[in-house]
Amino acid sequence: MTTANPMNSARKAIIWREWKKGAPMSVICRLIEKPPATVFSYLRYHGGIETKDTSEAVVSVVYARAGRHL
């Protein structure tokens, strides 16, 4: 049986420090010994990765082409 490898405050600090420096996610994963999904999910949940919401932009383009405004 393996021991737990929790996301402690030291690992979280490393994530933010490296992310702000522009380090690739693969490097961050190696530093904190966690899989990419863990780092991605952490950053996304805490605002480090913006979700791409294009639905409003698409609706705006459709209305603009029709000569209407939202």
Distance CA 44, CA 18 (A): 15
Burial class (CB within 10 angstroms; exposed 0-12, middle 13-18, buried 19+) of 49: middle
Residue 45 clears pLDDT 60, i.e. is over it: yes
Residue 25 has pLDDT above 70, yes or no: yes
Do 12 and 40 touch, CB atoms closer than 8 A?
A: no
pTM: 0.64
* Cβ-contact 28, 12 below 8 angstroms: no
pLDDT at 31: 96
